[in-house]
């Protein structure tokens, strides 16, 4: 079974500890402000770090349901984050400028005095930024996890052996780079589009028995099918490592994960790391 992993292995050892920590009260940062205005370049992790001593617990402090946490694009530069210390646990809420000229701040909670039962605070008029001209706030910086998003792949023993493979290179080159042409056999008749190029690396061993439980495949790059047949012709679009004869091809899958939401598990988890990618 193919399983495109997103670096869950690297976090497995911390899950049990995280489950215990997640049950503890939230601890505010020493200089947590009462409000913060979101600026371009912020992430939810950055914002939460201004309020929490442990920013990875941000889903617990945001007064959002799970659907909103999975889709945090409701938060934009210019929005105002309010810290509510009145309850047993601190909470963050969004405030937005409303009214004529954006002269009032509303947290949308329905609490406190003000028109329509909303808690309001008068602010100076300010320029409103159109949402068409601003990007939503992501969960965590992509640069922090970029090294973990290089398409590691776990396959069963012998699985890559049945996939299409590169049998020749343009002008007999030993290795291929971006823009080079490769020839592959065993491509499906209805092949089209982009293909990922992999190379089988090493077996993953059970920590106790030392028996192989799966095999790690290294992601080398991406190629586009230019002409079908046997052999088929492909052109390399991108490469992470040198590509050569014998490397295997798999249909490229569209990315399905756009935001990463770190949170402690709901139940205790006991796990062991069996390997580190490229380790």
Give yes or no: residues 236 and 211 share one domain.
Answer: yes
Neighbours of 156 (CB within 10 A): 12
Question: Over the Cα atoms of the chain, what is R_g?
Answer: 25
Give yes or no: residues 111 and 190 share one domain.
Answer: no
Cα 254 from chain centroid? Answer: 14
Q: Which domain holds residue 201?
A: 147-251
Give yes or no: residues 196 and 223 share one domain.
Answer: yes
The answer as to whether 85 is a domain residue is yes
Domain end (from 140, 166, 185)? 140
Give yes or no: residues 124 and 160 share one domain.
Answer: no
Domain count, the chain: 2
The answer as to whether 224 is a domain residue is yes
The verdict on pTM exceeding 0.85 is no
pLDDT for 182? 92
Residue 82's Cβ-count burial label (10 Å; 0-12, 13-18, 19+) is buried
The answer as to whether 84 is a domain residue is yes
The answer as to whether 90 is a domain residue is yes
pLDDT for 45? 82
Smallest CA-to-CA distance from 82 within 62, 99, 110 is with 62
Give yes or no: residues 136 and 154 share one domain.
Answer: no
pLDDT for 145? 61
Give yes or no: residues 224 and 208 share one domain.
Answer: yes
Per-residue model confidence as pLDDT tens for the chain (279 residues): 444 333 333 333 333 344 444 457 888 999 999 999 988 888 888 888 899 998 878 777 776 555 555 555 567 888 888 888 888 888 888 776 555 555 455 554 444 334 343 444 444 444 444 444 566 676 666 656 655 566 677 877 777 778 899 999 888 888 888 899 999 998 887 778 889 999 877 888 888 898 888 888 888 999 999 988 888 999 999 888 889 999 999 888 765 555 566 666 778 888 888 887 766
Give yes or no: residues 135 and 152 share one domain.
Answer: no
Give yes or no: residues 127 and 169 share one domain.
Answer: no
The answer as to whether 244 is a domain residue is yes
Domain end (from 112, 140, 168)? 140
The answer as to whether 73 is a domain residue is yes
Domain end (from 140, 174, 207)? 140
pLDDT for 184? 93
Give yes or no: residues 90 and 197 share one domain.
Answer: no
Give yes or no: residues 90 and 55 share one domain.
Answer: yes
| Residue 81, beta-bridge partner list | 36, 94
pLDDT for 233? 93
The answer as to whether 9 is a domain residue is no
Give yes or no: residues 108 and 204 share one domain.
Answer: no
Residue 246's Cβ-count burial label (10 Å; 0-12, 13-18, 19+) is exposed
> What's the Cα-to-Cα distance from 189 to each of 192, 195, 219, 227, 236, rounded to whole Å?
9, 14, 24, 11, 20
The answer as to whether 131 is a domain residue is yes
């Amino acid at each position: 079974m193919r399983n495109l992993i997103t670096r869950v292995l690297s976090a497995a050892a911390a899950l049990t500890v995280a489950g215990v920590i997640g049950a503890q009260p939230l601890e505010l940062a020493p200089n947590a402000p009462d409000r913060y205005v979101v600026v371009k370049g912020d992430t939810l992790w950055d914002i939460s770090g201004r309020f929490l001593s442990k920013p990875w617990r941000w889903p617990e402090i945001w007064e959002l349901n799970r659907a909103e946490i999975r889709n945090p694009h409701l938060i934009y530069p210019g929005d105002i984050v309010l810290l509510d210390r009145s309850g047993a646990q601190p909470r963050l809420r969004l405030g937005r400028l409303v009214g004529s000229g954006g002269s009032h701040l509303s947290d949308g909670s329905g609490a406190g005095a003000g028109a329509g039962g909303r808690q309001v605070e008068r602010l100076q008029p300010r320029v409103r930024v159109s949402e068409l001209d601003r990007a939503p706030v992501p969960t965590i910086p992509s640069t922090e996890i970029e090294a973990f998003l290089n398409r590691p792949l776990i396959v069963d023993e012998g699985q890559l052996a049945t996939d299409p493979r590169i049998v020749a290179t343009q002008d007999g080159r030993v290795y291929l780079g971006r823009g080079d042409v490769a020839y592959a056999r065993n491509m499906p008749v209805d092949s089209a589009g982009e293909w990922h190029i992999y190379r089988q690396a090493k077996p993953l061993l059970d920590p106790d028995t030392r028996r192989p439980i799966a095999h790690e495949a290294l992601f080398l790059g991406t190629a586009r099918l230019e002409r079908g047949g046997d052999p088929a012709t492909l052109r390399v679009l991108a490469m992470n490592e040198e590509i050569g004869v014998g490397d295997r091809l798999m249909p490229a899958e569209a990315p399905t994960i756009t935001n990463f939401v770190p949170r402690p598990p709901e139940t205790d988890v006991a796990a062991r790391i069996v390997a580190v990618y490229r380790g």
